[in-house]
Amino acid sequence: MNQTVTLNKVEQKLRHANRKHARLYLFCNFTALMIISAYSGLMFSPTIQTAFPSGGDSRKQMNVIFILTLIGCVIFTIYAASLFFRHKSKQLGILMALGASRKRLAPTLFREILLLSSLSSISGIIAGFPFIWIIWNLFRLLLIDSTDMQLDFDFKCLPVSLLFFTLVLTFTCFTAWRYLHKTNIMEVIREEHINEPVRELGKWCGPAGCLLLAAGVLMGYWGPSLYCDLANVMLPPAWMNLLYAPAFAGLYMIMLHAVVHGFRTYKKQPYKNILSRSMMKFQGKQTVNNMIVVALLIAGSCFGIFYIPVTAVGSMMKYAAQPYDYFYCYRADQSIPDESTVRMLAQKHGLRIKDWERFEYITLGYGGITSVMEEDGIHFHEEYDRILSESKTLSEDTWRALSGMDTTVRSGTYLCITNQEQTSYSVSPYAEHITNMVSREQIATKYAGIAVSDFSSLTNTPGCRILNQKDYDRLIEGLTDDWKGFIVRFNIDGKDSYAFADELYRLLVGSTDDTCMVTHYYDRVNKTITNEKGDDWWGDQPSEAPFMRVNPKQINSISFRMGWMYHPDFRILNQNDFLLSTSVLLMMFLFIFIVCLMTALVICYTRCQTIALNNRYIFDDLRKLGASPDFLAKEVRSQCRSVFRTPSLVGMTIIYLIFILLLYGNDWQLVLTELIALCICLGILGIIGVCIYLIYRLTVKNIIKKLKIR
């Protein structure tokens, strides 16, 4: 010992002694920042931005889960920082009690937390990029690879991580400041041992929480559309999102009930698990907060993984149900390969075409109801337009030949073609006029019902309608080739070949000119009418224009394969390329699943460790009172079970019910593909449950080892 021993050096030594606690803080902070950095890096990458249509449901889902993960990480980080300070407080308090002033302690304390926070945050942010790169390329290596999956980063994502980093710094500095400014030094010293009991509510809070949760979800889901209908507005006001608030209150009450009372009744054995229940109760505040975050993250992870079966099952079943191997439409003014060319191509691949048929269709303008915004920019009213949108149109005779059904359409009426589940969005019963867009010949009409087809080319937007033969003949008069088109269908005699389908697909794309390189959203009728009125068509606005056209050079991209209006229905191509053409979407949701589940499990693991280690003196006392290792291990298991089980079950149940609601709410029915998807989702929940159970076992084993129970 000599004069060079300073408070700084002593604090350095104390930091070394407390490195275990610092390590936990570093780990939590690093993990949170890495997750945020990886998620935002992926979300803002051009790869994902291109694949996820702006304003589309998939992007909204991705954003919502990101916000959920962000909230989870914020709570998790705040918890880790609080934990670090709780351990640090005794040391701080002793130094304060022995006369170290705030001014004396502040510089080293702030230096330490700034160093720890910055080090863990910056390394977390940096690690996020290799983390996502490794996962993404593992996906490519082991699951799917496509040209779309070239992962690029856009450093626009950095502000999110940096904002989070600033939040971490602000919170830790504020906590340090708060500790230094406590007037009661004894409180600082004893902070580590202060319990955090939750405010108990009666046993009613569990059932009431379930009701509130259900009410919040239902109100949040249906409230905005109900409001729009009642108030005649296009978009619900932002405050309508508050309708979800009861769901969060409900979630809190359920977790509170689980921590305070448990979901089992102890009437017959009031002393059963009393120790673990009481230990949980007195660590309640943080436990409840953690459990809410875990429930939300598990819900987010399930939401991500459910996307895959829900998307895949519907598509695969649809492809399998196609009555013909090849089915495609094209405009009559395009130089599409004729029958002999296609047959020769098939021959080249050793195939023989059978059942070749070609049918004519025309594109007409149909009347409909449009929403007109009022001057206040909020309310709207509905108006009927005689010419509103385009639709493919078949004659009664063509439909009979195409479908084999003996359908009759009365003159002055039309039928809409829909899919087997009758969920096609292009069915519109409001048209009262049909117009030839060249001669402007117009006839009055009336909706007369639906006809069913298994080809998405006929049921996707802009849809297809059937007219009485006489009405059709009248309206085709004077139509130019660009308003006419053909439908081709054929089968392969024997086993089909992917190479043929792929070559024919590329031939079709290569033979189609730029005027047909448009998406399903492109409506020539609506554009023509709007332009004729001297207005700009909404689809020509700079923000919308990119979503109206497809690029034939990106023939393998999701946007081309899912968006092109003339995309053919080739069974073998669709079946083989489904994963390829949706790979980025599937991978993003798979990534969301992994990240959310990983975060949830890390939080559970950390929380269990904290509860057990904070209560280690109780375990020591119990051991002295003669408790056997089996008894102590049972107590550890009981505590960990509550932390893992309740939020997992609640998260999984909530999201499963929400998915049923979403699928049902789409078209007010659950069709076969949706039911199968829900069964698969149930199976996935089982697998997730097993993963959670394994981590729970690992946590218990680890705690038992740390507490030296065995």
Binding site for other proteins (CB under 8 A): 1-3, 5-7, 10, 13-18, 91, 94-104, 183-186, 189
Element (H, E) at 383: strand 380-395
Q: What angle in degrees, to the nearest 10, is found between the helix axes of 284-321 and 583-614? A: 160
Which residues sit opposite 362 in a β-bridge? Answer: 393, 484
Q: How far is the CB of 110 from other proteins (least distance, A)?
A: 17
Q: Give whichever of 176 and 688 is closer to other proteins, judged by the CB atom.
A: 176
Q: How far is the CB of 171 from other proteins (least distance, A)?
A: 24
Q: How far is the CB of 259 from other proteins (least distance, A)?
A: 21
Q: How far is the CB of 101 from other proteins (least distance, A)?
A: 4
Q: How far is the CB of 181 from other proteins (least distance, A)?
A: 9
Q: Give whichever of 10 and 438 is closer to other proteins, judged by the CB atom.
A: 10
Distances in whole angstroms, Cα of residue 542 to Cα of each of 49, 526, 570, 597: 17, 17, 33, 39
Over its C-alpha atoms, the chain yields an Rg (Å, rounded) of 32
| Residue carrying the six token digits 């920019």 | 377
Distance, in Å, from the CA atom of 471 to the CA atom of 690, rounded to the nearest integer, reads 62
3 state SS for 273-333: CHHHHHHHHHCHHHHHHHHHHHHHHHHHHHHHHHHHHHHHHHHHHHHHHCCCCEEEEEECC
Contact between 296 and 651 (Cβ < 8 Å): yes
> Residue 600 is encoded by which pair of tokens?
């949830």
- Start-to-end C-alpha separation, the chain: 42
Q: How far is the CB of 91 from other proteins (least distance, A)?
A: 6
3 state SS for 17-64: HCHHHHHHHHHHHHHHHHHHHHHHHHHCCHHHHHHCCCCCHHHHHHHH
Q: Give whichever of 95 and 516 is closer to other proteins, judged by the CB atom.
A: 95
Distances in whole angstroms, Cα of residue 512 to Cα of each of 130, 357, 571: 42, 20, 21
Q: Give whichever of 194 and 682 is closer to other proteins, judged by the CB atom.
A: 194
Angle 220-221-224 (CA atoms, 0-180°, nearest 5)?
Answer: 75
Q: Give whichever of 189 and 233 is closer to other proteins, judged by the CB atom.
A: 189
Q: How far is the CB of 612 from other proteins (least distance, A)?
A: 20
Q: Give whichever of 9 and 697 is closer to other proteins, judged by the CB atom.
A: 9
Distance, in Å, from the CA atom of 68 to the CA atom of 74, rounded to the nearest integer, reads 10
Q: Give whichever of 179 and 591 is closer to other proteins, judged by the CB atom.
A: 179
Q: How far is the CB of 2 from other proteins (least distance, A)?
A: 7
Q: Give whichever of 94 and 127 is closer to other proteins, judged by the CB atom.
A: 94
Q: How far is the CB of 179 from other proteins (least distance, A)?
A: 14
Q: How far is the CB of 73 from other proteins (least distance, A)?
A: 31
Q: Give whichever of 185 and 507 is closer to other proteins, judged by the CB atom.
A: 185
> Residue 281 is encoded by which pair of tokens?
């109760």
Q: Give whichever of 22 and 280 is closer to other proteins, judged by the CB atom.
A: 22
Q: Residue 339: which residues within 8 A CB-CB, separation 6 or more?
A: 356, 358
Which residues sit opposite 161 in a β-bridge? Answer: none
Q: Give whichever of 199 and 495 is closer to other proteins, judged by the CB atom.
A: 199
Q: How far is the CB of 12 from other proteins (least distance, A)?
A: 10
Q: Give whichever of 19 and 705 is closer to other proteins, judged by the CB atom.
A: 19
Q: Give whichever of 88 and 281 is closer to other proteins, judged by the CB atom.
A: 88
For residue 400, the tally of other CB atoms under 10 A from its CB is: 16
Which residues sit opposite 541 in a β-bridge? Answer: none
Contact between 43 and 66 (Cβ < 8 Å): yes
> Residue 701 is encoded by which pair of tokens?
């084993």
Q: How far is the CB of 82 from other proteins (least distance, A)?
A: 21
Q: How far is the CB of 625 from other proteins (least distance, A)?
A: 19
Q: What are the strands, taking DSSP E only, across 446-533? A: 447-452, 464-467, 484-493
- Minimal CA–CA distance to 86: which of 18, 161, 4? 18
